[in-house]
Every structure is written in C-alpha cells, then in structure tokens.
Structure 1
Amino acid sequence: MTRAVDVVVIGSGVAGLSTALGLAATREVLLLSVGDGSTPWAQGGVSAAYGEDDPLDHAHDTDVAGAGFCDPRNVRALVEEGPQRVAELIAHGARFDRNADGSLSRTLEGGHSRPRIVHAGGDATGAEVHRALRSALERTGVRTMTGRTVGLVQSESGSIVGVLVDTGAQTEQIDARAVVLATGGIGNAYLASTNPSTVRGDGIALALQAGASLVDMEFVQFHPTVLYTGETSGQLPLVTEAVRGEGAVLRDIHGRRIMDGLHPRADLAPRDIVARAIESTMRRDGSNHVWLDATAVAPDVLRRRFPTVLASCARIGVDLLTEQIPVAPAEHFLCGGVRTDRNGATEVPGLYAVGEVAATGVHGANRLASNSLLEGLVFGRRVATALTLDLPARDRGRTHELALGEDRDPERIRTILTKYAGIRRDGAGLNAAADELGSAGTGPLATVARSVVAAATARQDSRGCHWRSDHPHPDDRWDDHIAVRLDEAGTSPEISNMFLSYAAQK
C-alpha cells in the first residue's frame, strides 16, 4: 500500500512535534512514531534568557560548556529565538511553574551563570512540553501513524522521496517531497542510559545509508547523576541537576565533597566535568556509585520542586528528604549527529534532520543543561519555516529502497560501546572496540557504535565529553570537526574528512 503527503516527520518528541506543528497550516504532514522518545522523561526544564537576563550571556554559557566548539551562528539563533518559542508554547497551553506574583519560576543548573531554567510540575518539564505540543497538534488535524520506520525510498537522482513503515501488520510505503528525521539520539546503544529503549540511532543509520554524513559523533554526554538502583542496563531514573541547583552536593562513599576545588562552580560545573569527577572518584574508591546529599535543602522545596525524583528514590527505599541518595553517571545525550545546515537540510536532497539526531553545532563538545528541549523548539520551527517557504519538487523518477537492517546481538554491541567508549577512553580500547565490532553486522546499533568509535579514535585530544586518558588535554591540531560517512561498499562508517563548519550547504 502506498500513499503520498508533502512531508513525513519521523519522531514525536519535542523536535518532531514542533516541526509538524509549524507545518500544519501550510503542508500536508504525516507524523510517524514508534514511541514518544526522550522528551517526556526530561526533568530539568527549558533554558530561556529574557528580561534582565541577556541572551548573549546564555550564548556565552553555551559556548563555555561546549568547550568552545559550538557553531556561533546557530547558538545565537538558539538563544535569541528561544524565548519566543517558549512564549508560543505557553500560548499552546503549556503550564510552567510560576512564582506567587505570577512570573515564571526560574532555577539554576550546571554551567549557567544565572537562573534561567523555566520548569513545569517541579521536575516534569518534558512531560508537560510534550503534552502541550501533542494537544496543539491534535487540534490542527495533522495525521499521525504508529509504526517503526524501517527504510527510506530514494530516487535515481539521489533525493529522498519516501519512507517504509512497519505497522506490525504490514510494511507501508509513504511517498513525500521531504522527510524529516526527528528520531532522537543513541541512548540504547549503551548498556545504561536515561533514554527509553526506542531511542537507538535508527535515524542516524538511515541518514548514513542515504549518503549523508555525521559530525562530532565522539561527543556523547553522560549525565552525572542517574539514580543507582543496582541495575546496570536499560533506562535508569534521572536525578535532575536542578537538585544541585537548589543546594545539594556530591560526596564520595566516605562523605567527602567531590567537587570542592575542581571547578569554580563546584557541584554546578558543566556536565562533562562533573561526570568525569564522579567516574574518577568511583574508580579510586572501587565503588559503583557516589552520594548526592540534599539533606540541607528545605524539605518543602524538595517536595514542591522534585516530586519525580522523590518518587524514584522512594521506589528503592531511599528518602531524599533525610538520606543521601546513590547516583552514578549514565549515557544521556548525543551532542553530534547528522550534518545539517541551520534549517535542518542534510547533504541529501529531500532529507532533513532536527533535534538530537541532528548536528546543529549548538552543543559543541558538551551540551549545556536544559538546552535540548530549547533546541527542539527552535530548530523544529526553523525546519518548518524552510519547508513552508521552499518544499522540494516531487521527484517522479525510478526509485530504490534503503532498508534498515536488524542487529543480531544488540547486547554485545552495547557492552562493547560501554566498555570502550564511555566517559574514559584510550586508543588501545578504541582499537579493541573496532575489532570486536567487526562481526557485529550492519544494523542500526552496530552502525552507531562504529560511528562513535571511528570518531573517538580519530580525535586524539580531549575536550568536552570526549576524554582520552592517552591524550588528556585539548590540542589545537584537532580544532576541526570530524565527519563520518559510509565506506565505498556502503556497509561500514569511516572517517571521510575534517572540516571547520557544521553547515551542510553553504
């Protein structure tokens, strides 16, 4: 069965919903999803600089957290357009937390120089953003479809002209003048992650197959504080760093402060610095977690601001109000992804990418806290604007299918990537990972793992969330961004070149 629309958007997280909503009045859109992605699980909030807070200060904090590796044009778009997108979200019905005087409540998170994080339900911001966008989209009448995208349709000229969807009952082809990947990151490529199991890098594998390139795949962010439940795999409960923003501190198993003297902002240093400090402490002490101590924070603040975290702690028998809670780092966010221009266009005609799957350059080598929901809102609207103004012509030439393969042994792939390409890396381990992945097949997890390993092997310095113990410092010789494409056989990712710009089209 085949049907046709103007635009297919793959993914129903904040980026996909924002894109579809922005197109609803002008284009025939179909929203495809196999789940809600990572958006509903986001706890912290949306960063927005307005009023007395200068967007240029937000841009500076973003660049510092990104280790000076951000794209300045896109960062400026992020911070300047962000408040307007938040205001539109409120107009769509989003209920953000407010102060007694009716103003938006704003809090502080790691890497920010000012309290600029708006939040909802205390620590349930992602769920509220998702609800508001989903509700607004339903009012437009945009069609939605549940099913996993298992392939793309490509014309003889190289344009992407459709998708293949497994609905469970059949595989359906949907023709389109443009396809937007909003499929999220690569969380399920690691053993332990804050992401749901549906986030496994399908969009990245599809983009590679279509001929697109990836950039900055070595920059995989680990959230410093995930609740240690005793489980070592699967989706683990997040403990938002806003808890530290309210005054909680990190301690080792002996009760000593971990971040004292390591960074001017101590427990609110950027995520890469805190995650490395925790990993180093755990390695030194032979422990599987450290402690997050919020006992000095007023109980009413904890109850009001962190009901989700309180409930997660209660499920493992720990009281956040009176006890230290066990935390450890886990995979959280991909800072790189599919190479795009500032409007989401990839190098492949008809193929766009937005959100965590895309490399806009706004995160550089390490994402600033609460910039991810903001990125989805801002760049989702940018993609929608671009496709409203200029939709590709329908290509009616002959086509062929680009099918997404299956991973034969996903648990083995996750184990390899976790062991060799986690917070701490070195050349010997990365070479071992490449060897062990050689027999892993060509499914999406294997493709993602090889892409991360190839980029991490090539980058022989340390910056942001890429840290190599054999090259522990930044090196100006590695100031270029590393690109990955499929090899000539079309089966395995390899380093294609290094370049100075994120922009796919200049």
Structure 2
Amino acid sequence: MEHHRSISDVLIIGSGIAGCVSALTMAEEGVHCTVITAGERLSYGNSELAQGGIVFHAENDEPEILEKDIMTAGWNHNYAKAVRQLCALGPDVLQELFIDKLHIPFNQRKPGDWFLTREGGHSLPRILYCHDHTGRNIMEALSKAVSEHPNITVLTKRTAIDLLTTHHHSSHMDFKYSLANSCVGAYVLNEHTAEVETLLSRYTVLATGGIGQVYLHTTNTPGSIGSGIAMAHRAGARLLNCEYVQFHPTALYAGKRGGQRFLVSEAVRGEGAVLVDSCGDAFMKRYDDRADLAPRDIVTRAIMDVMLKTGDDCVYLDAARNIKKDIVKRFPTISERCRNISVDITSEPIPVVPAAHYFCGGVLADLNGRTTLERLYAVGECSCTGVHGANRLASTSLLEGLVWGVTSGRDIARRISKTEPMSEKLRDSIRDWVNAGDEHNEDPALINQDWATIRNTMWNYVGISRSAGRLHRAFSDMRTLAKNLQDFYKNTPISKPLVDLFHGCQTAYVITLSAMRNRQSKGCHFRAD
C-alpha cells in the first residue's frame, strides 16, 4: 500500500464552528494549518443544524447575570473561570467576527437593532438568531472564509483513526524514555484513495463534535460518534464529566424508527408554545414552576414520565395555542419539516420525543483549549471546558465553540512563533500505518447489528434515567462488544465503517464507565436509584 506523509504546523480534526474559528484565528496570524473533515464539505457536522441561536446580550444584561444563569442550569457543577471567560469574551468576539467581519444575517428590525429571543433557563431575552437556521447561516459564512484563506488547507473525506503520540508511535528510545508524552498529528483514512495517511503536525486540535449517534434517538448528524473522545482516551488525555449527556426534550416524532431526528428548537417554547399530552392537557406546571421554560433535563424527564404513565410513544408541542407571531415566518424550517409528515403547526400540535442532543463532558481543556496531553488542544463539543457543568444552558454551545476557537487559535499562534519546527529525529521515528490483517470479513450486517446493540444498550440503560442495575448491565454488554471488536479490528483491513464502529463502541464504554462511577444524581445524570 502506498503511504502518504505530510507535515503541517497545525492539524485541525473537525470542521464545525470551533474547528473553523480556530483555523481562521491562527491563519490570520500567519500560521499554516490543515483542516480535515469526514464529509465532502466543511459544514458536515452538528454546527450547521443549530436552530435556536447564539447567546449575545440583552438590554440591561451584565456578564454576571448570564454567569448565574449558566451556573444554575449546570447545577453549579461548572468551572467558574471558564464560565466567566465565556460571559466576558463572548459578546465582543461575536460582534467582531460574526457581525462586523462575516456579516452573518441575524434577524434585525433595522441595522443594529437585533431581534433577541429567550430560551429555557435564561432570565433575559439575549439570543441572536437567523429565523430557525442560525447554524446554517454561520457555517455558510465560516466555510467560505476557511476555504478561501491562503493559510488553510482543507482535506475532505478524511476520517481520523488515531492520534500520533511520542510515547505510542515513536520508535526512537529518546522519546520512549521521556516522561512527557506529546501529540504529533494523526493517522487519517483518506476515503478518496482508501489509503491511511500519516499527517504529522506540531500542534493538533480536536474539534470532532458530539456523541449523539451512540444513542437510539438523537438530533445529531451521522458523524457524531465521539471519535475525538475515543482517540484522546486511547492517547492518554484526561476526560471529564462524560456521564453528563444532555437529551433535548423536543425532537420531531415521525414513527418508531431510530436514528437522526429533526430538532424542534427550544425557541418555539420561548415564543410561547406549550407541551401537552395526547388529551391536550398541559403538564409542565406539575413538574416545575418555570413550566415549559424549565431547563432541558427537567423538561426531558417530565416528558418521559408522562409517556410512561400514558403508554404513548410521544407527547405534543402546541405552538398554535399561544404564539401571536406568524409561526411559519418565524420557524420556516420547522414548519416545512412538519408539513412533510402532514402536520400543520398553525392548527395542530407537533408530535415530539426526547433525543440525545449534547455532550456536556469530553476531553478536559483549559481556558485556551490545551489538554493534559502536550501539544493537543480540544475545542467545541468534544472538549470539557467546565462551561456547561452538569447540564448545558440553551444556545451556549455555539458561543463556546466560537470563544474557544478564538482562544485556542491565539494560543497556538503565540506558541508556534516561539517553538522550533519538528525535529528530523522525531519526524523519522514516527512509523507509517501498518495494516494488521488481511481477512476480508467485514460484513455490513454484522456492523449494523453491533451499532444496534450499542444504540439500544445506551438508550435503555445509560439514557435519560439510570440505575446501578441498568448501568452494570450496560457495562458488561459494552465490555464484551469492545473486546470482540478489538479482535475483529486487528484482523480486518481498515475501512470507514470499521473505524466509526470502533470509535462509537469506545465512546459508549467511556460514558457507561463514568455513569457507573458517579452515584450522585445531578443535571443530565439522573440516577433513579
């Protein structure tokens, strides 16, 4: 097999909001970087799907007020310094990059007079939005800027297999005996050529997004399988808060089939929509004084409780009852998707069900995105900065991706100007990928069955409501599957479906282990026992 090797200053794995902003920030400072995406285009992941919006600032808003809202939603399990950084830097960075530079078309009455909405857990209306396709507008502008920048190389249809580290992949004794372990790039599968490339880099940024696809019902894109979590875990970087998986209360229910579900934004409830059962009775007041605008974990458990009591497959979101605005104009995407399943949101309630939505844990990262593995950064949803604590506040995810994209980009640019290029000794000591097996026994039916095992196990045992019995069962099932996959993986030629399955299984295992260890019910980690 032909081997392709290359070396760049920085390798960025993932091309959502965090990865793209990080790339642009350092490219503007003269750093050459390579961005890889598993898709055919940059806007392949979850960032593009974000409907609700991005946190800005309300009239009479103060960073302290937003800080308090984030900490309350996060059950005070947050890292205060990270929350403070988000609240202090967020609005200015947003103004500078998204409004002044990229001219993202957020809804406004007249230039500079923004429409701001409120979502669950926020004490003020401070969320900027572009109708109900904010993420799409942001990613269109970011993708264009990244693709056109002379300092950025974009490689498509690339799946990262493994992070390269001096301890695990160097053949030179100097690096083996060194106490410090450093990340020096990644092995990457090129789907265009079916070869594994050795992409060496002085710094590496993980921006691989979420983990939703390890669950039966999710709002996440097909690539959201936690590959960054699995790779960082194997490389020895520290992970944190992996038990905190946020379920979005309202994904469109269109039958029992699992897989990716269309998100019905929280902004619909922000504008006045009410959750009702199949008899049309509003039920949220029974569970929380904030009713339909309680934080997501509370709303999700309330919906599950109602579904268990009534035996129904879903509940309903009644947008026709209280919303005074033209709903179709305010939520064009949602309206169209509902029309596709013959639901008219102006007169009928929308069938909804909870779905895995956002990963509050991840690879532990500091205020600049640095991880515990030297020269490895993590930004966006795959990182754990401590901003979200035990439960994420609505519309803070895009802002976190933006802020840490900027701080990581600046930090890397500053460090690169002071450090030497990668030594020849190190470069030559990193071996190319060795394909272990040649048993051509990859069977799509087996792969689909393994995914079904992962998704059903995680949904039923490590889902919205957890207990020692359920978690123990999940742990033994996932451990068996992981071992079988390990053996299979060793003997079968590498392929995209295999890499994805391997990463998905490891991610599920890591989440299960974290959930088992934490006996305290908090936020998204709800212990029924």
TM-score (norm 2): 0.86
Q: Among 425, 439, 453, which residue is 2:480 paired with?
A: 439
Structure with a larger share of its residues in helix: 2
- Tell me what 1:468 maps to: 527
User: 1:197-208, aligned counterparts within 5 Å?
Assistant: 197-208=222-233
- Using the TM superposition, give the Cα deviation of residue 51 of structure 1 relative to its aligned residue in structure 2, in angstroms: 4.5
Deviations 1:109-146 (A, max 9, x none): 010000011001x1000001111111222332211001
Q: Give the 3-state SS of the residue equivalent to 2:326 in structure 1.
A: helix
- Using the TM superposition, give the Cα deviation of residue 101 of structure 1 relative to its aligned residue in structure 2, in angstroms: 6.5
Q: Give the 3-state SS of the residue equivalent to 1:7 in structure 2.
A: strand
Name which one, 1 or 2, has greater alpha-carbon Rg.
2
Deviates more, 1:102-111 or 1:392-401: 392-401
| Residues 1:103 and 2:126 are matched in the alignment | no
Is residue 221–residue 260 contact of structure 2 (8 Å, CA) maintained in 1?
yes
- Tell me what 1:9 maps to: 12
Is residue 153–residue 401 contact of structure 1 (8 Å, CA) maintained in 2?
no
Distance between the aligned counterparts of 1:134 and 1:297, measured in 2? 38
| Residues 1:80 and 2:88 are matched in the alignment | yes
- Tell me what 2:430 maps to: 399
Deviates more, 1:167-176 or 1:275-284: 167-176
- Using the TM superposition, give the Cα deviation of residue 402 of structure 1 relative to its aligned residue in structure 2, in angstroms: 8.7
Identity level (%): 40
- Using the TM superposition, give the Cα deviation of residue 65 of structure 1 relative to its aligned residue in structure 2, in angstroms: 0.3
| Residues 1:21 and 2:24 are matched in the alignment | yes
Q: Give the 3-state SS of the residue equivalent to 1:361 in structure 2.
A: coil
Q: Among 165, 169, 172, which residue is 2:188 paired with?
A: 165
Is residue 366–residue 385 contact of structure 2 (8 Å, CA) maintained in 1?
yes
Q: Give the 3-state SS of the residue equivalent to 1:330 in structure 2.
A: strand
Unaligned residue ranges in structure 1 (runs of 5+)? 471-506
CA RMSD in angstroms, aligned pairs only: 1.8
- Tell me what 2:376 maps to: 351
- Using the TM superposition, give the Cα deviation of residue 85 of structure 1 relative to its aligned residue in structure 2, in angstroms: 1.9
Distance between the aligned counterparts of 2:298 and 2:232, measured in 1? 31
Is residue 12–residue 32 contact of structure 1 (8 Å, CA) maintained in 2?
yes
- Tell me what 1:124 maps to: 133
User: 1:217-256, aligned counterparts within 5 Å?
Assistant: 217-256=242-281
- Using the TM superposition, give the Cα deviation of residue 263 of structure 1 relative to its aligned residue in structure 2, in angstroms: 2.0
- Using the TM superposition, give the Cα deviation of residue 49 of structure 1 relative to its aligned residue in structure 2, in angstroms: 2.0
- Tell me what 2:161 maps to: 150
One-letter code aligned to 1:136:
A
One-letter code aligned to 2:116:
R
- Using the TM superposition, give the Cα deviation of residue 297 of structure 1 relative to its aligned residue in structure 2, in angstroms: 3.9
TM-score (norm 1): 0.90
User: 1:328-343, aligned counterparts within 5 Å?
Assistant: 328-343=353-368
- Tell me what 1:136 maps to: 145
Q: Among 262, 267, 279, which residue is 2:287 paired with?
A: 262
- Using the TM superposition, give the Cα deviation of residue 437 of structure 1 relative to its aligned residue in structure 2, in angstroms: 1.1
Distance between the aligned counterparts of 2:149 and 2:38, measured in 1? 21
Distance between the aligned counterparts of 1:402 and 1:429, measured in 2? 39
Unaligned residue ranges in structure 2 (runs of 5+)? 168-174, 176-180, 437-441, 487-501
Deviations 1:283-303 (A, max 9, x none): 111111001001124575312
Q: Structure 1 pair 349/134, CA: closer, same or farther in 2 (3 Å)?
A: same
Deviations 1:373-404 (A, max 9, x none): 00000011010011011136425422357999
- Tell me what 2:70 maps to: 62
- Tell me what 2:351 maps to: 326
Is residue 5–residue 176 contact of structure 1 (8 Å, CA) maintained in 2?
yes
- Using the TM superposition, give the Cα deviation of residue 152 of structure 1 relative to its aligned residue in structure 2, in angstroms: 2.1
Is residue 198–residue 432 contact of structure 2 (8 Å, CA) maintained in 1?
no
Q: Structure 1 pair 103/144, CA: closer, same or farther in 2 (3 Å)?
A: same
Distance between the aligned counterparts of 1:385 and 1:264, measured in 2? 43
Is residue 160–residue 349 contact of structure 1 (8 Å, CA) maintained in 2?
yes
* Number of positions where the alignment pairs a residue of Structure 1 with one of Structure 2: 469
